[in-house]
Amino acid sequence: MAGTSLDGVDAVIVDSACKKILASHFLPYPKELKNQLKNLAKNSQTNLKTIAELDITVARIFAKAANQLLQRAKIDAKNIQAIGSHGQTIYHQGGNYSWQIGHGALISELTGITTVADFRMPDIAAGGQGAPLTPKYHQYLLAGKDGVFVNLGGIANITIVKNSTVCGFDTGPANTLLDNWIAAKKQLDYDENGLWAGRGSVDDVLLKALLADDYFAQNPPKSTGTEYFNLRWLEAYLTAEQSDIAVQRTLLELSAVSISSHIPTGSDVYLCGGGVHNLLLVERLKSQNPNSKITTTAALNADPDFVEAAAFAYFAQQTLAAKPSNLPEVTGAKSTRILGAIYAK
């Protein structure tokens, strides 16, 4: 799995039920690749050669992550049923088109393992957003219980399971604006533990203006990406008076408020994704939901940094068993679909 934060590849080996993470490995993207992918998100004008080269580079890194994981876990490739590879999203227009690179044929070739890739397009072809897909896995992890999952990746997505019904959608930004702002102002990849933001104060006028964006009020099904929530989007709201640090703090509040507005009171909330390490973001989520119990997915024995990766192992297993993985009530697709393309070994 690789998400919109463009930090790198999360790889896991799971048990045959796809519930227990047996081994995990994070392989960061090289700086140059991260910059190339960032430029692509910033400026979608590019050429086919560049995309083809990136497709190969990303596939090689995914395969490397898988091979390193196997080596470290001392598990032979022949004991692995399949790889479920989400790939790296370079373009997402929910309901229209969603493009992940890191092609499955090369991953399969370089690992010797059957690879399932390109999970989103079957849902989109059926009229869905193609996202979020993980609610089905979140429901599976809850095993019949009610609960709320919030994945704090570049973009945040929420899954609300109540009485066996599932609602899920992207709430908006989690880390992407925070990461991009601190990168622009301090040349850092992210705000370690939310410390920089913690030294600033929320600019209430700016926060109100940002929250007035149409995306936050739209009814689900909905999904979004970094081609929408990026510094260009933010700059339209900025004035000369706001300090850099106040903007960082306000962006953190934007993530916390836009997520919290969808958390039903009294929920059991399980956080996952890299944002669980942003102590201030977690603190703000807790204080905005005083009647809910906010923990991480570790409470369900699922490492919060690797839940989303485990979800794609589960989806690959579903696909190989000719079973669907999308939830039409979440994505808006006409009906369920078997997701992904299989590159068999």
Ligand X SMILES: Nc1ncnc2c1ncn2[C@@H]1O[C@H](COP(=O)(O)OP(=O)(O)O)[C@@H](O)[C@H]1O
Binding site for Mg ion (CB under 5 A): 3, 5, 7
DSSP letter for each residue of 197-236:
HHTS---HHHHHHHHTSHHHHPPSS----TTTSSHHHHHT
Interface with ligand X: number of residues (CB under 6 A)? 19
Does 7 bind ligand X (CB under 6 A)? Our answer is yes
| Residue placing its CB nearer to Mg ion in the complex, 5 or 151 | 5
Which run of H or of E encompasses 283? Answer: helix 279-288
Query: Are residues 236 and 209 in contact, defined by beta-carbon separation less than 8 angstroms?
Result: no
93 binds ligand X (CB under 6 A): no
Rama region for 109: left / alpha / beta (φ>0; ψ in -120 to 50; rest): alpha
Residues 124-163, mask of contacts with ligand X (x by CB under 6 A)? -----------------------------xx---------
Residue with tokens 């979800």: 311
Element (H, E) at 327: none
Q: Which of 137, 149, 190, 228 touches ligand X by CB under 6 A?
A: 190
Partner touching 317 among Mg ion, ligand X, none, CB below 5 to 8 Å by kind = none
Amino acid letter for position 190 = Y
- Contact with ligand X (CB under 6 A) among 55, 118, 179, 253: 179
For strand 147-152 and strand 21-28, is the pairing parallel, antiparallel, or unpaired?
A: unpaired
Short-list 148, 150, 76, 88, CA closest to 112 = 76
193 binds, among Mg ion, ligand X, none (CB under 5 to 8 A by kind): ligand X
Q: Which stretch binds ligand X (CB under 6 A): 111-119, 197-205, 232-240, 268-276?
A: 268-276
37 binds, among ligand X, Mg ion, none (CB under 5 to 8 A by kind): none
**Tokens at residue 311, please?**
């979800």
Q: How far is the CB of 315 from Mg ion (least distance, A)?
A: 17
Contact 338, 324 (CB under 8 A): yes
Q: Is 255 in the site for ligand X (CB under 6 A)?
A: no
x/- contact string, 277-306, with ligand X (CB under 6 A)?
xx----------------------------
Task: Note if the bond before 264 is cis, omega within 30 degrees.
Answer: no
Q: Nearer to Mg ion by C-beta: 7 or 227?
A: 7
- Name which of 309 and 336 has its Cβ closer to ligand X: 309
**94 interacts with, out of ligand X, Mg ion, none, CB within 5 to 8 A per kind:** none
Give me the amino acid identity at 280.
L
Kindly report whether the peptide bond that precedes residue 132 is cis, defined as omega within 30 degrees of 0.
yes
Report the interface residues with ligand X, using CB under 6 A.
3-5, 7, 153-154, 175, 178-179, 190-194, 273-275, 277-278
